Amino acid sequence: MAPDIRKYHKALKGETKNICDVLAKEIAGVLTKAESKVWHGHPVWFLEGNPIVGYAPRKKGVTLLFWSGQSFTTPGLKKEGSFKAAQAVYVTAVDVKATLLRKWLRESKKVQWNYKDIVKNKGKLSRLP
């Protein structure tokens, strides 16, 4: 885990910390070649500079966001925003179903929209091969 993510986790408390610890372990276990860092205030994993997955504590629980999740065939994520992102929300660490999470993570390596060039492409997304 990246040092800034470790520091981020040290500041967490209670069930939020438990959930984030589970998510970080699972993400790092599947996205072994990803770069990770705190980006816009929250842990995010990138493949070749493209954001793939991240999480953030919210009032209703911890939100796990997949930037290209709307294009996944594995069910269970809810649409988020006007691009291709989709999310899951966890209230307790027990809510994190590791088998399902790993399916999404494996799919996230194959199904990607080009977010890293979204500014250069004037807000238009294209699917990466």
- Residue showing tokens 């899951």: 88
Please report, for the domain that includes residue 38, its CATH number: 3.90.1150.200
pLDDT tens digits for range 12-39: 999 999 999 999 999 999 999 999 999 9
Identify the pLDDT of residue 121: 79
- Give per-residue pLDDT as tens, 64-77: 999 999 999 999 99
Predicted structure pTM score:
0.92
Q: What's the whole-number mean pLDDT along residues 80-96?
A: 96
How many structural domains is the chain composed of? 1
Residue 125 lies in a domain: no
- What does residue 56 show for φ and ψ, rounded to 5 degrees? -155, 135
Q: What's the pLDDT band for 11 if we cut at 50, 70, 90?
A: very high
Domain assignment present for residue 7? The answer is yes
d(CA 123, CA 120): 8
Residue 102 lies in domain: 3-110
- Give a yes or no: residue 96 inside a domain: yes
What's the confidence (pLDDT) of residue 45?
98
Question: Quick one: pLDDT at residue 114?
Answer: 86
Q: Which of 79-83, 87-91, 109-113 has the highest mean pLDDT?
A: 87-91
Does 126 reside within a domain? no
CA distance 62 to 99: 18
Q: What is the pLDDT of residues 115-126, one digit of tens each?
A: 888 888 788 888
